[in-house]
């Protein structure tokens, strides 16, 4: 299994994880053996057919009933219960022998990324791992919102310490000039900063300034891959970037603390 490449799709609720997974699956599986793995116990419907699916072991509705929890508590419990099934999933994946495993994660990003569940899942499944962090194009309309998303992306990167590609999804919803503006923000942090100064006021501006300065101290994300699975745009380029992401990467090493921290 040590050669298998696990690509974890992470991002805030509704950012397009499942849809992008489906498009990547269609493209990648033309040339490689690709296993779609669903780790979202709350998913009602998925735009692809998972080969291994946490919902065959745990469903949100059952956890709500059994533990008498509301939807949020039940989701938290379900994600934790996933850990019990990791050895089983690992075995299923291993016997399938895929080149790639595309991993769909729960919509509630914080459950997977900011508790220790995500790191334990990555470690439990093994192989070589990388993250695609998805940013909804909705947040690329405002420079201040965009800074918040870059902060979230950096925080996920720090948490997992894995090779990571940040991906702007649903770009079909942006006008060409909006897309150009985002590209300029990525190329020139001073331009992003000047746009924040022009847009935000009061405390919102103070916070955005602070975040920008923290980002420049730890290393501003430099790439943002643009995709629209709906129009099937950017998927080929994304696949090439994913290959490159694994290019120089060796065995997974999450260290004692569960992540390596910023390189
Ligand atoms: N316009 C547009 N809509 C998209 C695109 N990709 C996804 N969507 C829509 O965005 C919504 C959310 O997509 P999902 O793929 O379910 O997002 P998700 O991140 O898996 O959502 P959760 O698992 O619920 O957090 C759906 O209505 C999709 O049809 C895209 O490229 N363009
Ligand atoms: Mg989903």
> Is the Cβ–Cβ distance between 119 and 254 less than 8 Å?
yes
| Interval between CA 136 and ligand 2 midpoint (Å) | 13
| Residue 36 maps to a domain | yes
| Residue 258 maps to a domain | no
- d(CA 217, CA 238) in angstroms, rounded, equals 28
- d(CA 28, CA 184) in angstroms, rounded, equals 30
Q: Which of 32-46, 49-63, 75-89, 249-263 has the lowest mean pLDDT?
A: 249-263
Q: What is the CATH number of the domain that holds 207?
A: 3.40.50.300
> Is the Cβ–Cβ distance between 227 and 167 less than 8 Å?
yes
Give the residue, out of 12, 18, 19, 22, with the most ligand 1 atoms within 8 A of its beta carbon, to mutate for a pocket test. Answer: 19
Contacts of 8 (CB under 8 A, 6+ apart): 103, 105, 118, 122, 129, 130, 131, 132, 162
| Interval between CA 20 and ligand 2 midpoint (Å) | 9
pLDDT digits (tens, 9 = 90+) for 187-229: 999 999 999 999 999 999 999 999 999 999 999 998 899 999 9
Residue nearest to atom 29 of ligand 1 (CA): 19
Taking the mean position of all CA atoms in its chain, how far away is CA 168? Answer: 11
- d(CA 26, CA 48) in angstroms, rounded, equals 9
Residue nearest to atom 3 of ligand 1 (CA): 170
**Residue 113 pLDDT > 70:** yes
* Model pLDDT, residue 247: 86
| Residue 91 maps to a domain | yes
- d(CA 71, CA 59) in angstroms, rounded, equals 11
- Mean pLDDT across 117-137: 96
Give the side-chain half-sphere CA count within 13 A for 146: 26
Q: Which residues pair with 129 in a beta bridge?
A: 6
- d(CA 192, CA 190) in angstroms, rounded, equals 5
Domain count along the chain: 1
Joined tokens for residue 120: 């334990």
| Residue 168 maps to a domain | yes
| Residue 149 maps to a domain | yes
Pocket of ligand 1 contains residue 19 by CB under 6 Å: yes
pLDDT digits (tens, 9 = 90+) for 146-155: 999 999 999 9
* Model pLDDT, residue 263: 35
pTM of the model: 0.93
Burial class (CB in 10 A: 0-12, 13-18, 19+), 6: buried
| Interval between CA 13 and ligand 1 midpoint (Å) | 9
Average pLDDT, the chain: 92
B/e letters for 114-153, b = 16+ CB within 10 Å, e = fewer, are eeebbbbbbbebbbbbbbbbbbbbbbbeebbbbbebbbbb
Joined tokens for residue 86: 């990791």
**Residue 164 pLDDT > 50:** yes
| Residue 219 maps to a domain | yes
Pocket of ligand 1 contains residue 5 by CB under 6 Å: no
Q: Assign 3-state DSSP to the chain and report helix, strand, coil percentages, each to 5.
A: 55, 15, 30
* Model pLDDT, residue 49: 98
* Model pLDDT, residue 261: 34
SS (H, E, C) 133-189: EEEEHHHHCCHHHHHHHHHHHHHHHHHHCCCEEEEEECHHHCCHHHHHHHHHHHHCH
**Residue 256 pLDDT > 50:** no
Q: Domain range for residue 91?
A: 5-247
pLDDT digits (tens, 9 = 90+) for 16-60: 999 999 999 999 999 999 999 999 999 999 999 999 999 999 999
Pocket of ligand 1 contains residue 110 by CB under 6 Å: no
Q: How confident is the model at residue 258 (pLDDT cuts 50, 70, 90)?
A: very low
| Interval between CA 14 and ligand 1 midpoint (Å) | 5
Q: Which residues pair with 165 in a beta bridge?
A: 132
Pocket of ligand 1 contains residue 38 by CB under 6 Å: no
**Residue 167 pLDDT > 70:** yes
| Percentage with pLDDT > 90 across the chain | 89
Radius of gyration of the chain (CA): 19
| Interval between CA 42 and ligand 1 midpoint (Å) | 15
Pocket of ligand 1 contains residue 18 by CB under 6 Å: yes
* Model pLDDT, residue 2: 72
| Percentage with pLDDT > 70 across the chain | 94
| Residue 213 maps to a domain | yes
| Residue 263 maps to a domain | no
* Model pLDDT, residue 257: 36
């Amino acid at each position: 299994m040590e050669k298998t490449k696990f690509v974890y799709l992470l991002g805030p609720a509704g950012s397009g994880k499942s849809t992008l997974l489906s498009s990547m699956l269609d493209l990648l599986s033309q040339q490689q053996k690709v296993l779609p793995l669903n780790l979202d116990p709350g998913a009602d419907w998925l735009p692809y057919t998972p080969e291994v699916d946490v919902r065959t072991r745990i469903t949100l509705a059952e956890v709500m009933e059994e533990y008498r929890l509301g939807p949020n508590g039940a989701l938290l419990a379900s994600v934790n219960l996933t850990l019990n099934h990791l050895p089983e999933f690992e075995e299923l994946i291993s016997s399938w022998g895929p080149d790639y495993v595309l991993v769909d994660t729960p919509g509630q990003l914080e459950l997977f990324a900011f508790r220790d569940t995500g790191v334990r899942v990555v470690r439990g499944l093994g192989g070589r791992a990388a993250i695609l962090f998805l940013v909804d194009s909705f947040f690329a309309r405002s420079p201040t919102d965009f800074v918040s998303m870059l902060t979230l992306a950096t925080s996920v990167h720090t948490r997992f310490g894995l090779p990571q590609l940040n991906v702007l999804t649903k770009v079909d919803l942006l006008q060409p000039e909006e897309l150009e503006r985002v590209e300029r923000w990525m190329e020139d942090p001073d331009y992003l900063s000047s746009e924040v100064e022009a847009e935000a006021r009061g405390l919102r501006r103070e916070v955005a300034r602070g975040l920008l300065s923290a980002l420049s101290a730890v290393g501003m994300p430099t790439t943002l891959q643009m995709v629209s699975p709906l129009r099937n745009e950017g998927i080929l380029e994304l696949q090439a970037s994913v290959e490159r992401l694994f290019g120089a990467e060796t065995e997974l090493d999450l260290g004692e603390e569960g992540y390596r921290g910023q390189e």
